[in-house]
Amino acid sequence: MTDTVRAQYEAFPYPERKPTDERKRLITGSPSLPVEMDHWLWGGARDWSQPLKALVAGGGTGDALIQLAQKLTDAGRSYDITYLDLSQASRRIAEKRAEVRKLSGITFVTGSLLDAGDYGPFDYIDCCGVLHHLSDPQAGFNALAGALKPDGGIGLMVYAPHGRSGVYPLQDAFNTLLHHLPPEKQLKAAKRVFDRLPDAHPFKRNQRLVDHKNGDAGFYDLLLHSQDRPFTITALIEVLNAAGLDYAGAPEAMLYDPAPLLDDPSGLDPVADMQLAEDLRGTFKTHIAYACPKGQVIVPPLGRPDAVPHLRDMDAAAVANHLAKGQGLTIDTAGASFYFDIPAQAAPLVARVDGHRPVADIAPSETDLRHWAAVEAALCPSGLMHYSHLLVGQG
């Protein structure tokens, strides 16, 4: 990162976080939920009795770090996590958040993710919201790939162009006007100009953008960033491949399937098909994805009796009660609504999901398995169910 970007994050650590809030909530999201990592990177069958050696590259104020460490702590699993970031101000916040939660097993380092290989190799690397801010993103992808173990994996997030309509003209304008000012003065001047923008400006019509409403750091990161390059899904897969990595999947895989929007199959290759979905939907602000060394992709264990399902952000009993009414399931995400015709007979199967039982115990008969397939087809592509051995052998 340039000195300008470093100065931004020293002045406005991002995202804004108060360490004392750790006493009342845990911020969660994709990637870097352990069960989601297992699902996409290790076929839902990682041996969690082995400690996880992980890197949080460009860790900012610590969201991914805290989530990963807390989830593994809650599961009774061992870990060794290295936090790496150029901003000392951001690091101090992340350290305090870990201290409030009494999390151990974390090493804090101030430095560049381009030096990731000096601290590895790693089983897992998280890199969210960073690679698109590098002057040479490919160098960042290459560095992370070089820091992985042969069977390791990466969870990443980069910005996408369509859902950020209006952002880049404003970034260009503000950088032209204000680049000579220190960050604090840039912010004040930009806010005055922003208030005068016409309501018809594409940014003001984009209701999916909210960071500028969530404090000074959010406003600056969204509209005043001096180095910000979005990626289409095609461009993302190209830089992954150039780094010797394969795309392993996306938490909400169904969003990358254009079929619900088409009369007939597109006939395109898989990457072009995903790009078609991105272009047709037009709402993606980010791409969240998992990647692993070339040739090492392990597909999720769909249909396997030994796979152990976990529900995400859903109460098994509540979902089962809903399904028992025979109304199927509607899932809203990224500005789209998806309906799944899950039979009422699947309700008692969902009620058995507890992160410990394998599918063989949840759906023991052939009839049960047919109903379970409908659950799997709805919840796995939408990111609401993952297969993982995280809790296998735990109380």
Give tens-digit pLDDT for 140-179: 999 999 999 999 999 999 999 999 999 999 999 999 999 9
Of all residues in the chain, what percent carry a pLDDT higher than 70? 99
The span from the CA of 143 to the CA of 181, in Å, is: 32
Q: Which residues contact 53 (CB under 8 A, 6 or more apart)?
A: 79, 80, 81, 120, 121, 122, 123, 124, 149
Model confidence over 195-206: pLDDT tens digits?
999 999 999 999
CB 130 within 8 A of CB 105: no
Q: What is the overall mean pLDDT for the chain?
A: 96
Span 37-58, average pLDDT: 98
Which pair of tokens denotes residue 307? Answer: 């796979």
Model confidence over 61-83: pLDDT tens digits?
999 999 999 999 999 999 999 99
Model confidence over 253-312: pLDDT tens digits?
999 999 999 999 999 999 999 999 999 999 999 999 999 999 999 999 999 999 999 999
Predicted confidence (pLDDT) at residue 336 exceeds the cutoff of 90: no
Q: Which CATH superfamily hosts domain 3-159+231-293?
A: Vaccinia Virus protein VP39 (3.40.50.150)
Query: Where does the chain show beta strands of DSSP type E?
Result: 52-57, 79-85, 106-110, 122-128, 148-159, 245-249, 286-293, 309-311, 329-333, 336-340, 385-387
10: confidence class by pLDDT, cuts 50, 70, 90: very high
CB 378 within 8 A of CB 349: no
CB 147 within 8 A of CB 245: no
The span from the CA of 188 to the CA of 286, in Å, is: 27
Span 113-119, average pLDDT: 97
Query: Shortest CA distance to 100 belongs to which of 23, 16, 17?
Result: 23
Predicted confidence (pLDDT) at residue 2 exceeds the cutoff of 80: no
Of all residues in the chain, what percent carry a pLDDT higher than 90? 94
Signed CA dihedral, 106, 83, 97, 50: sign only: negative
If you write DSSP's letter for every residue of 294-351 in order, what string do you get? TT------TT-TT--EEESS--HHHHHHHHTTT--EEEEETTEEEEE---GGGHHHHH
CB 16 within 8 A of CB 61: yes
3: confidence class by pLDDT, cuts 50, 70, 90: confident
Q: How many CA atoms lie within 13 A of 7 on its CB side?
A: 16
Predicted confidence (pLDDT) at residue 1 exceeds the cutoff of 90: no
Query: Shortest CA distance to 385 belongs to which of 284, 252, 248?
Result: 252
Span 327-336, average pLDDT: 86
395: confidence class by pLDDT, cuts 50, 70, 90: low
Span 309-334, average pLDDT: 92
* Domain parsing of the chain, residue ranges: 3-159+231-293, 163-223, 309-387
Span 113-127, average pLDDT: 97
Span 78-97, average pLDDT: 98
User: What pLDDT score was predicted for residue 101?
Assistant: 98
DSSP 3-state of 210: coil
Helix, strand, coil percentages (3-state) for the chain, rounded to 5, are 45, 15, 40
Query: Shortest CA distance to 166 belongs to which of 197, 130, 203?
Result: 203
**Residue for token digits 């560049």?**
112
334: confidence class by pLDDT, cuts 50, 70, 90: confident
Model confidence over 224-266: pLDDT tens digits?
999 999 999 999 999 999 999 999 999 999 999 999 999 999 9
Predicted confidence (pLDDT) at residue 110 exceeds the cutoff of 60: yes
